[in-house]
Amino acid sequence: MVRMNRPAPVEVCYKNMRFLITHNPTNATLSSFIEDLKTYGATTVVRVCEITYDKTPLEKDGITVMDWPFDDGAPPPTKIVDDWLSLLRNKFCEDPGCCVAVHCVAGLGRKRRGAINSKQLTYLEKYRPKQRLRFKDPHNHKSKCCLM
């Protein structure tokens, strides 16, 4: 098997939520991608780009793949934002501390300076949350929320 020089996944944690930002695998790199997901305990992958690999091996390993593609460089459509928030609400309420992986074509490049383009920056500046992501901490009787 040929090893591709791919950047390591990046884990982002906030309160009881864990996200894994990964590269976009191909069928040739799928086995190492699955190992990365298992290492971080990710049971859901959200791909927001065109399909570049067969998701069957992931599903056989109990990993759910959500396909929510949108144009590269553009902000996500409202439907995808709503679906994303719904997914997070369900995942983190059912299993606080779980990990959700997400990737686009070149997702790790988004961590570098200047990677967010003007359309995306304008979207973020104008974004106002319509809902709160609420979850219960099993060790605390108070509800917590995260504005998304």
Q: Supply the residues annotated as catalytic.
A: 72, 104
Q: How many CA atoms are closer than 13 Å to the CA of 8, on its beta-carbon side?
A: 5
The Cα 19–Cα 11 span in angstroms is: 6
Q: CA 20, CA 102: separation in Å to the nearest integer?
A: 6
**Which pair of tokens denotes residue 73?**
């460089």
Residue (of 105, 110, 107, 92) closest to 44 by Cα position = 92
The H or E element that residue 35 is part of is: helix 30-40
Report the distance separating Cα 141 and Cα 45, nearest Å.
Answer: 30
